[in-house]
Amino acid sequence: MGLEFGVFDHLDRNDLPLREYYEQRLQVIEAFDRAGFYAYHVAEHHFTPLGMAPSPSVFLAAIGQRTNRLRFGTFVYALPVHHPLRVLEEICMLDHLSGGRLEIGFGRGSVPFEISYYGQNAAERQQIYAERLDLILKAFTVETLSWKGRYDQFDNVPMEFKPLQKPHPPLWYGAHSPDSAERAARKGLNIVTNDMPPNARAIVARYRQTWSEARGAAELPKMGLVRFIVVADSDAAALTIARRAYLRWRASFTYLSERNGTLPDSPLRANSFDDLIGQGQAIAGAPETVRAFLAGQIDETRANYIVAQLCFGDLTLEEMQRSVALFAAHVMPGLRSAFAA
């Protein structure tokens, strides 16, 4: 497998009216399609400016109609706030509507306040997620579903709807420790991490080791590295843009926590974009600067999938489109060639 490129997007709010906001983002996603990105992955958040796709399936359906080759999916469906059979049916619909281009990630929901607003016990969101994931994976494979769990119970539900991809679309998992990477490898899941390089290296190393032990020489899934990226015609121009846009994104990232008297327990709430660069989680610069940064991270972590966070904060349509164009023309080809060599 060669090196691939994807996009992660919180779909965080800026000052545009929402109709115009969605249209501009869809135009940028069309550019991802033309540029040869593998997939677009959108987050799910609720009651916060961090995420304007509280129903990811609705936004993904629009993407399916505006693109031709680009794959797309969730990072992640937050299963504690979804009825599992409803999610299952939406996945099947999206997979058929897109001609089998769907990729799906499931999770517990990273922000406990969002889960609580839905009337769920946020302290149990990991257990709810784990049970509903097993339920959905079973539902993909049976003709009639019966389930007696702690959180959901079903009896003889006919599974008339199947996804186009068999047995289901590719699955993704957000790994934040070597142990979680090991579990993902044993299940055959693709992984992503936005952790700092030393932890990302340990995560990918454990994944590779577990995969080799369990599956021998079978082709590795994608092991992704998520990084904030801004590309412009010069380092100075890119940094100016990134510093401004990051502060708007950070305000959205901390919004719900601050309303509840705390801050997110995450290195991504760094005080500045420069701090993120220092932590190895972001880069802004001319194409050669960005290429060199990512080449070093690929060498250090052995990731085979670069997931670029190219849309965030108050980046304008023109800034995002220029960043995508430069990244596709001058960063992706060189990294692919070096990886193949």
pTM, entire model: 0.96
pLDDT score recorded for residue 266: 85
State the CATH architecture for 4-340.
Alpha-Beta Barrel (3.20)
pLDDT score recorded for residue 217: 86
CA separation for the pair 255, 94 (Å, rounded): 31
Identify the bridge partners of residue 103 per DSSP, sorted by sequence position.
73
Element housing 225 (H / E):
strand 223-231
CA separation for the pair 181, 113 (Å, rounded): 26
CA separation for the pair 312, 126 (Å, rounded): 28
Which residue ranges make up each domain of the chain?
4-340
| Strand residue runs (E) in 39-126 | 39-42, 71-74, 77-78, 102-107
pLDDT score recorded for residue 169: 97
Six-digit token pair at 137?
Answer: 């994976």
CA separation for the pair 182, 178 (Å, rounded): 6
Which burial class, exposed, middle or buried, applies to 269 when counting CB atoms under 10 A from its CB (0-12, 13-18, 19+)? middle
Residues 175 and 193 sit within 8 Å (Cβ to Cβ): yes
Residues 203 and 196 sit within 8 Å (Cβ to Cβ): no
For 307, phi then psi, to 5°, come to -110, 105
Residues 307 and 7 sit within 8 Å (Cβ to Cβ): yes
Question: One digit per residue, pLDDT tens: the chain, 341 residues?
Answer: 799 999 999 999 999 999 999 999 999 999 999 999 999 999 999 999 999 999 999 999 999 999 999 999 999 899 999 999 999 999 999 999 999 999 999 998 889 999 999 998 999 999 999 999 999 999 999 999 999 999 999 999 999 999 999 999 999 999 999 999 998 999 899 999 999 999 999 999 999 999 999 988 889 999 999 999 999 999 999 999 999 999 999 999 999 999 999 988 888 889 999 999 999 999 999 999 999 999 999 999 999 999 999 999 999 999 999 999 999 999 999 999 999 88
